[in-house]
């Protein structure tokens, strides 16, 4: 079994540490900053040997250089954004694989939030690192891509098994859920989830990771019937 540790950083970012006890290998996914990530690894007796980046934004790659300087780790990221991530050692795209011990992650090209955004899917472990593409009850803003691309991403994610655990990079769940409830007020599963999230946040608790099954029931972007409806919902959320 792989162990995944959530590290809250900055205002609402999450960095994920992925650890394989058998090989002793550790991966940092989208390290926004270095110090708390290195401290979290050291507290567990782990050494970060790899970084996996999903896209070029500074709150996902900002810790790359310092972590590499401290550990000598290998940094992997999207080939389509290599010019924007100067610290990459290896570039990957759709269908490529990366490994932690004997565990294999397949790279999924999921452009929309950024032009070259990727996700890492460890199918055998039912783990999916999505960066800023899919959020709990939300999706990423369309900074460099299109609603059609995001619709295709949502449809692709929706085909994965319900118990696939989704590790996104921000704590946006409460605002996403409240907005979604205005769009689908009759969705009982959504209403129940928002109530649960409100209580969790009131206690200062994190609300991610999530799962594909939960998102299929409560994520208005994954539930959009077509590109036009997703575009309409994304525009309304941006303006909210």
CATH number at residue 234: 3.60.15.10
Q: Which domain holds residue 160?
A: 133-240
Q: Domain for residue 109, yes or no?
A: no
The model's confidence at residue 50, banded by pLDDT at 50, 70 and 90, is very high
Which residue has tokens 């605002």? 175
Annotated binding-site residue? 170 = yes
C-alpha distances out from residue 31 to 17, 85, 216, 229, Å = 9, 13, 28, 33
Q: Domain for residue 33, yes or no?
A: no
Q: Give the pLDDT of residue 148.
A: 98
Q: Domain for residue 69, yes or no?
A: no
Q: Domain for residue 15, yes or no?
A: no
Q: Mind listing the pLDDT tens digit for each residue in 163-217?
A: 999 999 999 999 999 999 999 999 999 999 999 999 999 999 999 999 999 999 9
Annotated binding-site residue? 59 = yes
Q: Mind listing the pLDDT tens digit for each residue in 97-130?
A: 999 999 999 999 999 999 999 999 999 999 999 9
Q: Domain for residue 104, yes or no?
A: no
Annotated binding-site residue? 103 = no
The model's confidence at residue 1, banded by pLDDT at 50, 70 and 90, is confident
| Rounded Cα gap, residues 198 and 85, in angstroms | 36
Q: Could you list the active site residues? A: 55, 57, 59-60, 113, 132, 170
The model's confidence at residue 52, banded by pLDDT at 50, 70 and 90, is very high
In the chain, the number of structural domains is: 1
Q: Domain for residue 43, yes or no?
A: no
| Rounded Cα gap, residues 111 and 153, in angstroms | 8
130 — phi, psi (to 5°)? -110, 0
Mean pLDDT estimate for the chain: 98
Share of the chain above pLDDT 70, in %: 100
Q: Mind listing the pLDDT tens digit for each residue in 149-160?
A: 999 999 999 999
Q: Domain for residue 115, yes or no?
A: no
Q: Domain for residue 152, yes or no?
A: yes
Annotated binding-site residue? 125 = no
Annotated binding-site residue? 117 = no
Burial class (CB in 10 A: 0-12, 13-18, 19+), 188: exposed
């Amino acid at each position: 079994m792989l162990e995944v540790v959530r590290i809250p950083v900055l205002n609402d970012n999450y960095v994920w540490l992925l650890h394989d006890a058998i090989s002793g290998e550790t991966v940092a996914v989208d390290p926004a900053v270095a110090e708390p990530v290195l401290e979290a690894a050291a507290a567990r007796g782990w050494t970060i040997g790899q970084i996996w980046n999903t896209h070029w934004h500074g709150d996902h790659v900002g810790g790359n250089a310092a972590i590499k300087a401290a550990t000598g780790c290998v940094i992997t990221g999207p080939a389509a954004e290599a010019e924007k991530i100067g610290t990459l050692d290896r570039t990957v795209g759709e269908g490529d694989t990366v490994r932690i011990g004997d565990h294999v992650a397949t790279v999924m090209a999921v452009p929309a939030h950024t032009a070259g955004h990727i996700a890492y899917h460890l199918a055998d472990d039912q783990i999916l690192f999505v960066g800023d593409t899919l959020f709990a009850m939300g999706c990423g803003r369309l900074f460099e891509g299109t609603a059609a691309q995001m619709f295709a991403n949502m449809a692709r994610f929706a085909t994965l098994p319900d118990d696939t655990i989704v590790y996104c990079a921000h704590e946006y769940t409460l605002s996403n859920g409240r907005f979604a409830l205005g769009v689908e007020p009759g969705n009982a599963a959504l209403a129940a989830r928002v109530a649960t999230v409100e209580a969790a946040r009131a206690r200062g608790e994190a609300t991610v990771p999530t799962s594909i099954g939960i998102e299929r029931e409560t994520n208005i972007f994954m539930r959009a019937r077509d590109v036009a409806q997703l575009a309409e919902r994304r525009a309304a959320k941006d303006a909210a």
